[in-house]
Structure 1
Amino acid sequence: MKKSEALMTTPTEESNKATNVKEVLAYLVTQFPGCFSLAGEAKPLKIGIFQDLANRLQQDTTVSKTQLRQALRVYTSSWRYLESTKEGVARIDLDGVAGELIDSAQAEHANKVLQESKAKAAEKRKAKLAEAQARKPQPKDTDKPGYKKTANKKPHQASKSTKVNQKPVVAEHSAPVKVAVTLQPVASAQLVVGSNVLIKLGQSPMLATIVEVHKDDVTVQLASGMVVKTRQDSLFIA
């Protein structure tokens, strides 16, 4: 066989490389069927499973670390995964071996993320429906026959007794003022894999566990299992 023919029949690394999150997840299911799934009930993943994946697939050119982070973020933020993250359920490793149990705080956080995600989805559906209604042609108004038209009546005037009672209502108690919580930044010496920190996502800080530290970039895993890559200055003492 000629050298050129051998090159044509041998698949290249580029042809085997996953190109999107869907392909990465499908690949993880084939490599770790006891851990990942694409349908049915999902199993909560162990804290720090990203590092386990990076070590197992270190020589694998099919997926990169960036793709693994993106795939884990999508997988752990899905509704079926969040619904499986319940108190007392065991987290599993890449081989499907059960480990630590999910506590009440982790289960509560997962449920909060789930409800917020469903609320956002409902708002999007509502906005799309309103947009579709607005695009529909509106019926033209037709003049009513003359005999159906009525003269404009004077607005009904309230009695004096009614006017006396129509005073603006003043709230007796003002709304409680929220006290801002002061967050203390995490020092470089405290950035240790396995340590708990606070990461501010949105309006409130969330508890997370450090799974990887690379210079100023820190990868953490939330209680729900979601993996997030951030900067050191975005982390605070738990």
Structure 2
Amino acid sequence: MESQFQLTNSKEIIAYLVEQFPNCFTLEGEAKPLKIGIFQDILSRLSESEVLSKTKLRVALRAYTMSWRYLYSIKAGANRVDLDGNPDDLINEEQEQYAQQQLKESKQKAKERAKEKRKNSRPPVKKPKALKVGDFVKVLLGNKPLRVQIINIEKEHIKVNVGSGMELTVKPEHIITK
């Protein structure tokens, strides 16, 4: 299986498998539960092909079978499919529970990564100190702070003037003082 031209990334490999085995693999919609031992079946079927390495194929299959879309497809009583889409073994309760546990852990990790990303993407917001009309401050708009001048202070809102002449009303927690 060695060659100068090999698929190297998991997405390319899965796309190749979808092309070769459209009744088994899919890129969109509901995934089909794969037959246990499908890795060996692929190697046997594509033994003449030089575009896949065993290691990269294993990594791509792992990515495919750990995707949320695939894990949702693992339901007790459903049939697994072979490379031609023919029904194979039935999924049992234990396999479904394992898939649900993997799905739960994956979602939790994704949630933590998203939380960490949000935390790291915003500059720290400092509590505004005694603000007064005419002060130049920065306002957090989206991900970028913008330099503005305070033109009016009300109880829960502060009116600011952006350099272009546009006026905005912002909450005090969006103001970053120098």
Equivalent in the alignment of 2:26: 37
How much has 1:59 moved relative to structure 2? 1.5
- 2:77 corresponding residue in structure 1: 88
Partner Cα separation in structure 2 for residue 32 and residue 80 of structure 1:
18
Residue 54 of structure 2 corresponds to 65
Residue 132 of structure 1, CA deviation? 2.6
Aligned pair partner of 1:125 in 114, 122, 130: 114
1:24 and 2:49 are equivalent in the alignment: no
Q: Work out the CA distance in 1 between the residues paired with 2:57 and 2:118.
A: 35
Structure 1 residue runs of 4 or more that deviate by more than 4 Å after TM superposition: none
Matched, 1:46 2:35: yes
Partner of 1:138: 126
Alignment of 1:59-208 (within 5 A): 59-133=48-122, 135-142=123-130
CA distance in 2, matches of 1:117, 1:143: 45
- 1:76 deviates by 0.1
The alpha carbon displacement at 1:140 in A equals 4.1
* CA distance in structure 2 between the partners assigned to 1:70 and 1:38 by the alignment: 16
CA shift, 1:14, in A, is: 3.0
Between the two proteins, the alignment pairs up a number of residues equal to 130
Q: Does 2:44 match 1:55?
A: yes
Structure index of larger Rg = 1
Identity %: 51
TM-score normalised to structure 2 length: 0.68
CA distance in 2, matches of 1:94, 1:45: 8
Distance 1:58 1:141 in 2: 70
Segments of structure 2 that go 5 or more residues without pairing to the other structure are 133-178
Asked which structure has the greater RCO (Cα within 8 Å, sep 6+), the reply is: 1
Shift of 1:137: 4.9
CA distances 1:211-230 after superposition (whole Å, capped 9, x unpaired): xxxxxxxxxxxxxxxxxxxx
Q: Deviations over 1:47-76 (max 9, x none)?
A: 111111111111110111111101100000
Indicate the SS of the match to 2:4: helix
Q: Is the counterpart of residue 14 in structure 1 residue 18 in structure 2? A: no
Query: 2:163 aligns to what?
Result: none
Q: Amino acid of the residue matched to residue 129 of structure 1?
A: R
- The two structures, once aligned, show a CA RMSD in angstroms of 1.7
Which letter does structure 2 place at the counterpart of 1:142? A
Unaligned runs of 5+ in 1: 1-12, 145-238
SS of the counterpart of 1:66? helix
CA drift of 1:136 comes to 4.3
